[in-house]
Structure 1
Amino acid sequence: MKCIVTGGNIKVLGRAVHSLSRIGDELYLEPTESGLSLRAVNSSRSAFASFLFAPLFFQLYEPGGRQPDRELVRCKVLMKSFLGIFRSLPSLEKTVGKCLILLKPRANRLVVQLHCKYGVTKTHNLAFQECELLQAVFDTQRCASSLCAPAQLLAEAVVHFPQTLAEVTLGAGPGGKISLRNYVEDEAVPSKTMVTELRLADDEFQTVSVTPGSRITFCLKEFRGLLTFAEASNLPLTIHYDAPGRPVVFTLEDTVLEVHLVLATLSDPESDLQPPTANGVSHVPAPSDDFADDLESYMIAMETSAYEDSPSGVPPSPTFPLHTPRPAESDPEEEEEEGAVPGTPPHKKFRSLFFGSVLTPGGPSPAPTQEVLAEDSDGEN
Structure 2
Amino acid sequence: MELSMSGSSLRTFGRCVTFLARVASELVLQAHPAKLELHTLNSSRSAYGSVSLARDFFDTYHLDAAASAPSSTPLQCSVLLKSLLAVLRTPHAALDRLAISLPEPDSPKLQFTLHCLNGVRKTYWIVCSAEPEVQSLALDRGRFPSRLTIRPRELARLLSNFQSSLQELTIIATDPAAGLPDAGGDVGGKAVELRSYNDPAKDDCDTRLHTQLWIDPVEEFVEYVHAGDPVDVTFGVKELKAFLTFCEGCEVDILLFFEKTGEPVLLVPRFGLDDGSTSDFEATLVLATMTVSQLADSNDAQQPATSAQHNVEPRAATTPSVSNHTKIWSELSAMLNR
Check whether TM > 0.5: yes
* Structure 1 contact 176–202 (Cα < 8 Å) conserved: yes
| 2:196 is the counterpart of 1:178 | no
- 1:193 maps to 208
- Structure-2 residue corresponding to 1:60: 60
Question: After the TM superposition, which parts of structure 1 deviate over 4 Å for at least 4 consecutive aligned residues?
Answer: 186-192, 269-272, 355-359
- The equivalent position to 1:216 in structure 2, one of 203, 218, 233, is 233
Instruction: Name the counterpart of 1:256.
Output: 280
User: Could you tell me how far 1:268 is from its partner in structure 2?
Assistant: 2.1
Work out the CA distance in 2 between the residues paired with 1:96 and 1:122: 10
TM-score, structure 2 length as denominator?
Answer: 0.79
Q: Please identify which structure carries the higher helix content.
A: 2
1:183 deviates by: 0.7
TM-score (norm 1): 0.71
Write the letter of the residue equivalent to 1:184: N
Change beyond 3 A, Cα 1:224–1:120: same
CA deviation string 1:201-221 (max 9, x = no partner):
212312111245221110000
Change (3 A) 1:102 1:217: same
CA change 1:87–1:182 in 2 (3 A) is farther
Matches within 5 A, 1:208-287: 208-211=224-227, 212-254=229-271, 255-268=279-292
- Cα-to-partner distance string for 1:103-133 (whole Å, 9 max, x where unaligned): 2234322111111022101111111134353
d(CA) in 1 for partners of 2:289 and 2:256? 13
What's the counterpart of residue 350 of structure 1? 329
CA distance in 2, matches of 1:137, 1:156: 30
Residues 331-380 of structure 1, C-alpha deviations (whole Å, 9 max, x = no match): x9xx5323211323432322432169979xxxxxxxxxxxxxxxxxxxxx
Maintained 8 Å contact 1:168/1:220: yes
Cα distance, 1:75 vs. partner?
Answer: 1.2
Secondary structure of 1:119's counterpart equals coil
Is the partner of 2:153 in helix, strand or coil? helix
CA contact (8 A) 1:216 1:243 kept: yes
Alpha-carbon distance in 1 for matches of 2:160, 2:2: 39
Q: Is 1:167 the counterpart of 2:168 in the alignment?
A: yes
**What is the one-letter code of the residue matched to 1:337?**
R
> 2: CA distance between counterparts of 1:32 and 1:101?
15
Partner of 2:159: 158
1:131 counterpart residue number = 132
Q: Does the 8 Å contact 1:3/1:59 carry over to 2?
A: yes
Partner of 2:86: 84
Give unpaired runs (5+ residues) of structure 1.
273-287, 294-331, 360-381
Conserved? CA contact 2:27–2:40, under 8 Å: yes
Structure 2 contact 264–330 (Cα < 8 Å) conserved: no
CA displacement at 1:189 relative to structure 2: 8.2
2:75 maps to which residue? 73
Where does residue 14 of structure 2 map in the other structure? 14
Distance in 2 (alpha carbons) for counterparts of 1:98 and 1:26 = 24
1:233-253 per-residue CA deviation (whole Å, 9 max, x = no partner) reads: 111111111110111111125
Sequence identity, in percent?
28
Give SS of 1:56's match.
Answer: helix
Distance in 1 of aligned mates of 2:132 and 2:200: 41
CA shift in 2, pair 1:210/1:355, >3 Å: closer
CA–CA separation in structure 1 for the residues paired with 2:41 and 2:69: 31
Query: Which residue of structure 2 lines up, in the alignment, with residue 117 of structure 1?
Result: 117
After superposition, what is the alpha-carbon deviation per residue over 1:59-81, rounded to whole angstroms, capped at 9, x for unaligned?
1122441269x963211111111
The CA deviation at 1:269 is 6.0
The 8 Å contact of residues 137 and 336 in structure 2, kept in 1 or not, is answered as no
Deviations 1:190-233 (A, max 9, x none): 99721223333212312111245221110000110000000111
Cα gap change, 1:125 to 1:44, in 2 (>3 Å) = same
- Structure 1: how far apart are the matches of 2:270 and 2:58? 17
Structure 2 CA distance for aligned equivalents of residues 137 and 186 of structure 1: 34
8 Å Cα contact 2:25-2:80 kept in structure 1? yes
1:271-295 Cα distance to aligned partner (Å, 9 max, x none): 79xxxxxxxxxxxxxxx9739x9xx
Aligned partner of 1:278 in structure 2 is: none
TM superposition shift of 1:83: 1.5
Please say if residues 168 and 322 of structure 2, whose CA atoms lie closer than 8 Å, have aligned partners that are also in contact: no
Structure 1's 248 and 356: CA in aligned 2 closer, same or farther, altered over 3 A? closer
Is the contact made by 1:269 and 1:289 (CA closer than 8 Å) also made in structure 2?
A: no
> For 2:308, what is the secondary structure of its paired residue?
coil
Aligned pair in 2 of structure 1 residues 214, 47: CA closer, same or farther (>3 Å)? same
How many Å separate the matches in 1 of 2:260 and 2:49?
21
Deviations 1:255-282 (A, max 9, x none): 111111011111126879xxxxxxxxxx
CA-based RMSD of the aligned residues comes to 3.1
- Out of 265, 273, 290, the position equivalent to 2:308 is 290
Q: Which amino acid aligns with 2:195?
A: R
